[in-house]
Amino acid sequence: MSATENLARDTASEVLTLDKCCIAPAVSTNTNTIQADVAYLKYESKHELEKLYTMNYDTGDTFPRTNAKNELKTISIQNVRKSQAHPSFETCGFTTKKLQSSLSMAEFDDSDKVEAVFYTEVKDLLQELYPNARAIEVLEHQIRKRTPQFPYHTGEPYKNLLPTTLVHIDFTSESAALTSRAVFKDAADRYPNLLVMNLWKSLQGPGDDWPLALCDVRTVDYEKDVVSQDLVFDNRFNENLRVYHNDKHKWYYYANLQDDEIVLFQQMDCRVPHGRGVPHSGFLNPCADTNAAPRVSVEIRVFIYFD
């Protein structure tokens, strides 16, 4: 695994941990809104004095693997396509764009093809959207595949990355800057302004199995709702953001994503206070077609540099 892959995977490894058999069936209140459970960070007073951490290696039971606890909260998730609020990237931190990849779903299992073809397709799209960008660099991609048993843990190790069930933001402002300097030093040295963006694409076809929920950044109190967490490995560490529940949070998802669509959502913008990353999580969708194929998705992290 390359240094780039090591740095990138650090940001997501902790959020793959699943609560066993505790995710309640979601409820459809109408055709436009879904109620579903997601796992927020449970508030504890020790967070005021003790940095959150998760160990991603065997510590020999010398101390707890993590000092973070999760709590399930039922949230209302609006279908963006039916919403009267008309969320956009500029206002809420997320949007969809047209991107028909030339790769088949099977070809996304070939990392070399993804890097040669899909990375170029994504960079071309972003160059059109951001003509003033001075550099666009792809950090890495991840493929997630839901097993039929998910979210229930069988006790056996999973072969693939699964949909995340924890509300999180992939980067802090500090960890994004550190990753930028470590992996894209030339761009980081030359250009002072950095936008970190995730792009998420459904690959399995129609049916809306385990889609992605996105939180409107305008409803997040970044001074009170988010807290940084160290992700510690045997030879390195990284940092992401966990999120406390707030009744003011407004959640959305894109129903019926087509083959030629891709979701874009902000994870850190150094030009705005607190970076305004979009909290996100997968969720069990009660409106999914009963014949829907299990979710297969690709997520790609991109660093965009400006003067």
CATH of the domain at 259: 2.60.120
d(CA 281, CA 299): 13
Buried b (16+ CB within 10 A) or exposed e, 71-89: ebbebebbbbeeeeeebeb
Instruction: Output the pTM of the full model.
Output: 0.89
Closest CA to 146 of 193, 80, 63, 207: 207
* Token output for 165: 């069930």
Does residue 272 sit in helix, strand or coil?
coil
pLDDT of residue 61: 81
Euclidean distance between CA atoms 219 and 89, whole angstroms: 14
Q: Which two tokens stand for residue 202?
A: 């459904």
Q: 3-10 vs 173-183: helix axis angle to the nearest 10?
A: 170
Q: How far apart are CA 64 and CA 53, in angstroms?
A: 10
Host domain of residue 188? 3-306
Q: Which two tokens stand for residue 297?
A: 């998705």
What's the DSSP call for residue 76? E
Residue 84 near residue 100, CB atoms below 8 Å:
no
All residue ranges of the chain with pLDDT < 70 are: 1-31, 152-159
C-alpha to C-alpha distance for 141 and 200, rounded to whole angstroms:
10
Rounded-to-integer distance, Cα 84 and Cα 255, Å: 15
- Confirm if 68 and 242 have CB atoms less than 8 A apart: yes
- Cβ neighbours for 61, distance < 8 A, ≥ 6 positions apart: none
Three-state secondary-structure class, residue 172: coil
pLDDT, tens digit, 9 for 90 and up, residues 119-157? 999 999 999 999 999 999 999 999 998 877 777 666 666
Residue 240's nearest CA partner among 297, 305, 170, 178 is: 170
Angle, CA of 40, 42 and 47, to the nearest 5°: 125
Q: Do 96 and 264 touch, CB atoms closer than 8 A?
A: yes
Return the SS3 of 15: helix
User: What is the tally of structural domains in the chain?
Assistant: 1
